[in-house]
Amino acid sequence: MALLWLVVSCASNVDPTAGWSVEKLHEEAKSEMAAGAYEKAIGLYDKLEGRAAGTVLSQQAQLEKAFAQYKNNEPILAVATLDRFIRLNPVNPALDYALYLKGTINFNDDLGLLGGILKPDLSERDQMAARQSFEAFKELVTRFPDSRYAPDSMARMQYIVNTLARSELNVAKYYLRTGACVAAVNRAQTVVQDFPTSESIEEALGILVRCYDTLGLSALRDDNKRILEKNFPNSPLLGKPIVKVAPSADPLKKPWWKLW
């Protein structure tokens, strides 16, 4: 019985791919990917990396494995695989794709199972992944301005800028509602200084005008009001009288209990 158990155990540990060429291993990995069997594909790509070490095929296996990990809901592993590829292959022709995939993975990070249905406001999530995504896209368009992935990367970068600016604006508006004018000013200034091309500039300037007026800083109030008038001459914020900030009222935000 012990001998039989030993024979069965050895047989079960036999690698069915042992006699495969690296070309066949690659084809089988791609076939598993196409079938949606990402876990199997990842295992095959691991074997291919080892057997084709030092070749272009091994580098290709790293990229395809990263994509399989991404599709298998393993973004951290996918980014780690891409970071290793970028570090070890600084002149690889597919480096722009590696940066694009890294940026895309972080761009879509942590949306959750219902993210596509509920469409949450990304500005209300932790912004670490968004910043990492921006850095990857920025490196791509800086180093490879003619890349086929550059136009989409630039569009995603602008989206991220708007998201990060809206995140700062959300915090500024919270401080505004609680009457913490100094904190609101700091956040609104971050929007104006760090994200000058974002969609949140107009509202950030409006917060600065109101808070500086409340703080009695008329020169700063007037300076920001002039900037608001110059850049947004039709802004509805200009038509409103300056209202002192009060914890119980914020004209820039509709009360949560109003349905229309």
Tens of pLDDT, residue by residue over 73-88, are 999 999 999 999 999 9
- Which pLDDT does position 251 carry in this prediction? 39
Q: Give the residues across from 249 on adjacent strands.
A: 246
- Which pLDDT does position 177 carry in this prediction? 93
Tell me: the pLDDT tens digits for 107-123? 986 443 333 433 445 54
- Which pLDDT does position 254 carry in this prediction? 43
Distance CA 182, CA 172 (A): 10
Show me where the domains of the chain are located: 20-92
- Which pLDDT does position 178 carry in this prediction? 93
- Which pLDDT does position 57 carry in this prediction? 95
Query: Is CATH 3.40.50 the right assignment for the domain spanning 20-92?
Result: no
- Which pLDDT does position 229 carry in this prediction? 94
Residue-wise DSSP of the chain:
-HHHHHHHHHHHT--TTTT--HHHHHHHHHHHHHTT-HHHHHHHHHHHHHHTTTSHHHHHHHHHHHHHHHHTT-HHHHHHHHHHHHHH-TT-TTHHHHHHHHHHHHHTTT--TTHHHH---GGGS-SHHHHHHHHHHHHHHHH-TT-TTHHHHHHHHHHHHHHHHHHHHHHHHHHHHTT-HHHHHHHHHHHHHH-TTSTTHHHHHHHHHHHHHHTT-HHHHHHHHHHHHHH-TT-TTTTSPP---BTTB-TTS--TT---
* pLDDT string in tens for the chain (260-residue length): 665 555 444 545 677 888 899 999 999 999 999 999 999 999 999 999 999 998 999 999 999 999 999 999 999 999 999 999 999 999 999 999 999 999 999 998 644 333 343 344 554 555 788 889 999 999 999 999 999 999 999 999 999 999 999 999 999 999 999 999 999 999 999 999 999 999 999 999 999 999 999 999 999 999 999 999 999 999 988 866 555 555 434 434 443 333 33
